[in-house]
Structure 1
């Protein structure tokens, strides 16, 4: 994979992937506003799957698990402008506004298509990526502009952007049953369920009577078998969607579990 990135600041970047595709399982520490210049992205969450293409603009809330698969398209790289909306910056933005957010149980991805206000804001950043000396306040002004536009376009977005709570302790069983397909470090699963790594492992053993690694592999293989046999998906797609990092590892684990390769299923 050939990856290129140019930065105005650490919160605003122009990102480009030139290879066939790039896949990652991510928990975002900041809200991310993304504008597509070219390529495609598939975003898989526990509740929904999204496809975004050239011209699309969307906001991914922080602390949400997602599998991200980026594809080039039509001979063009996967290219995006990405703006991070950090908690620190948002706290400053909302400090003089009387907003009482209602936390959303399942924050969604906010899609804005090619909205002219947001597109104009983000497109205006392009010249700055070629400059060496950028005025210090440019990034701050552009991020503030983007936040203001987002609030104009969707009144519900304050419930996400103005919510500064950190994850509290929640049901480990419910959370893991919903999010096992995301291949993240155990520390991240612990944080998202309101636990230290030690407490997470202890509670996991008590709840499932096995280790996290063994349980996660078993659940991912069961889901993969379902997708292959019932949904008639291709092994290469299933591999990445259920939490494996490469096709060879997936094929080996699948054959060890079920006695035959993923390609041997009649439905696939």
Structure 2
């Protein structure tokens, strides 16, 4: 995968994927504000699937599992300006402001594509990348402060997201896993997001499901894949990545072991009717 990043400071970068496609399952440790220059992205979360393209602006909240699939478009690479809204920066910002935060009940992607003020703020960063690291750090941090201020002006819910510095609390394990099993994350990340140590997570999981986490995850992903192939008429390559498998060959092998036929055989049978 041909990926390059140019940094103004660690919190601001210009990201570029030259490939036909890239895909990753991830939980970001910090909030990410993203402005699209070119290309397309498909973001799959437990409650919704999002599509973003040129000039779209959106905020991906931290500690939220997602499958991110990047595509080039119209012969142009997948290119974005990415601004990390780190806990340190946000704490410094909010320490000087009195806000009564009302934590957002659902940590969701926030879209700001129709905000010319925010687009102007992010677009103004482009000339600085040509300076090859010669931009003063305090000036770059001012751009982050400007972006946060704009977000607060255009989204009344954003303080509940940005000013929430709590670690994940212990959550209902069954509910969380049923919503997020399709994300290909290590068990350590699942345990953290449910507010548990890895040992406690494995113990609670066996009590709840009477099966090991890895076996349960594989079965659930294959069941979802079968449903999408047979009922949603999806393609095997699309299903493979959206249900949490790393590559098509491993997906096909596991699928045939579970059901007795490959994803391709299932789709071929489907077209006969």
Superposed pair shares fold, TM > 0.5:
yes
Instruction: Provide runs of 4+ in structure 1 moved above 4 Å.
Output: none
Q: CA deviation at 1:87?
A: 1.2
CA distance in 2, matches of 1:205, 1:156: 37
8 A Cα contact 2:9 2:137, kept in partner = no
Q: Which residue of 2 aligns with 1:155?
A: 156
Q: CA deviation at 1:129?
A: 1.5
Q: CA deviation at 1:94?
A: 0.8
Q: CA deviation at 1:27?
A: 0.5
- 3-state SS of paired residue (2:157): helix
RMSD of Structure 2 on Structure 1 (CA): 1.0
CA distance in 1, matches of 2:114, 2:130: 24
Q: CA deviation at 1:114?
A: 4.6
Q: Which residue of 2 aligns with 1:191?
A: 192
Q: Does 1:257 align with 2:258?
A: yes
Q: CA deviation at 1:222?
A: 0.2
- 3-state SS of paired residue (1:257): helix
Question: What is the number of equivalent residue pairs in this alignment?
Answer: 268
CA distance in 1, matches of 2:196, 2:105: 19
Q: Does 1:175 align with 2:151?
A: no
8 A Cα contact 1:230 1:267, kept in partner = no
Q: CA deviation at 1:263?
A: 1.1
Q: Which residue of 2 aligns with 1:70?
A: 70
Listed one character per residue, the Cα deviations across residues 60-80 of structure 1 (whole Å, up to 9, x for unaligned) are 111111100000011000000
How do 1:119-268 residues align onto structure 2 when only pairs under 5 Å count?
Answer: 119-131=119-131, 132-265=133-266, 266-267=269-270
TM-score (ref. length: structure 2): 0.96
Q: Which residue of 2 aligns with 1:104?
A: 104
Contiguous gaps of at least 5 residues in structure 2: none
CA distance in 1, matches of 2:108, 2:142: 26
TM-score (ref. length: structure 1): 0.98
Larger deviation, residues 234-243 vs 205-214: 205-214
How do 1:26-41 residues align onto structure 2 when only pairs under 5 Å count?
Answer: 26-41=26-41
CA distance in 2, matches of 1:221, 1:201: 21
Listed one character per residue, the Cα deviations across residues 34-81 of structure 1 (whole Å, up to 9, x for unaligned) are 000000000000000000000100011111111000000110000000
Contiguous gaps of at least 5 residues in structure 1: none
